[in-house]
Amino acid sequence: MSNLRFAVIGGDLRQVYLANYLFKKGHTVIVYGLQHPQLVKGCIPAVTIQQLISPGTHIVLPLPVTKDGVSLFISQTDQTFTIEQLKDLITTSNPIYCGVMPKELAAFCEYRHIPYYDLMADSAVAIRNGIATAEGAIAHAIFESTSNLHKSQTLVIGYGRCGKVLAHKLAGLQAYVSVAARKPCDLALAESYGFRPIPMNRLKRNISRFSFIFNTVPAPILTSDLLSKLPPNAVIIDIASVPGGTDFNYAKKHNLCARLCLGIPGKTAPKTSGEILAEAILNNSL
């Protein structure tokens, strides 16, 4: 692959390691909204957004792209960059790499024939990020509990990519793992790996025995009706996308430990996660 010019913008610590990886692979890397001791000196800081983007520049947007719908997510400096400013600068020669692009920006790119690639829609990225997510979720559970995971009754709700990895990691810690899911094929697969399968419509009659619950389903699963049956020392780690699947208001009111843990890869394994994203970018350079 020939030398490419990348503009890496804002985001969290993952973007630092992503930029480092691209530079170490021999590419030119311009950064904006990134300032960290781990950022390699070869990455060139842009003072203005005009210095950042030129014809042929590949643009790596922050993950998430935005938190307020107006500006790109920048957490490490006081620099700003709005979505409208980005629209004014990009052309068909500026491929964009991002995670969960806002619909308005995606529509703009499609209308202007600007190529973009959603890293979070990449199956390989999702599977590899699932490892960091599972490890981070387990770390959160250990921190929040006064009991061992070892030989504990543990429930994983949902048996998608994250749920599968999480169940296997928990089993590796010798927890007794049950899996709740809707699809019979998911329940059968979970059972084939030695996990106790629980159909979702039977969750209510089983939930009272679990000390640890990990939810991966972005739907109202852990309602007040179910939470009322939990032991007082239970720990709930919800890793589903906002707003999660737990009635957090009920949990708070009744002193249950329930945590919505978002963006785990960027918090607990930013180096690995950033390099996973960088590899995906290079594998799919548009």
Task: Count Cα neighbours of 39 within 13 Å in the Cβ-side half-sphere.
Answer: 21
Q: Which CATH class is domain 5-121?
A: alpha beta
Task: Count Cα neighbours of 126 within 13 Å in the Cβ-side half-sphere.
Answer: 12
Q: Does position 148 have pLDDT exceeding 90, yes or no?
A: yes
**Cα(129)–Cα(265) distance, rounded to whole angstroms?**
7
Task: Count Cα neighbours of 234 within 13 Å in the Cβ-side half-sphere.
Answer: 27
Q: Does position 2 have pLDDT exceeding 80, yes or no?
A: no
pLDDT of residue 235: 98
In the chain, % helix, strand, coil (3-state, to 5) comes to 40, 20, 40
Nearest to 248 by CA among 224, 230, 228, 272: 224
* Sequence letter at residue 181: A
pLDDT of residue 285: 82
Q: Does position 1 have pLDDT exceeding 70, yes or no?
A: no
pLDDT of residue 188: 98
**Cα(17)–Cα(29) distance, rounded to whole angstroms?**
12
157-167 burial by CB neighbour count: b if 16+ within 10 A, else e? bbbebbbbbbb
Cβ–Cβ < 8 Å for 154, 210:
yes
CA dihedral 16, 18, 23, 28 (to 10 degrees): -90
**Cα(57)–Cα(53) distance, rounded to whole angstroms?**
6
Residues of the chain with CATH 3.40.50.720: 5-121, 125-266
pLDDT band at 286, cuts 50/70/90?
low
What tens digit of pLDDT does each residue of 74-92 get? 989 999 999 999 999 999 9
Q: Which CATH class is domain 125-266?
A: alpha beta
Residues 6+ apart with CB under 8 A from 284: 97, 117, 122
What tens digit of pLDDT does each residue of 154-212 get? 999 999 999 999 999 999 999 999 999 999 999 999 999 999 999 999 999 999 999 99
Q: Does position 15 have pLDDT exceeding 80, yes or no?
A: yes
What tens digit of pLDDT does each residue of 236-266 get? 999 998 899 999 999 999 999 999 998 898 8
* Bridge partners, 6 (sequence order): 29, 58
**Cα(252)–Cα(271) distance, rounded to whole angstroms?**
33
pLDDT of residue 274: 96
pLDDT of residue 119: 92
**Cα(233)–Cα(10) distance, rounded to whole angstroms?**
39
pLDDT of residue 208: 96
Q: Does position 45 have pLDDT exceeding 90, yes or no?
A: yes
pLDDT of residue 126: 87
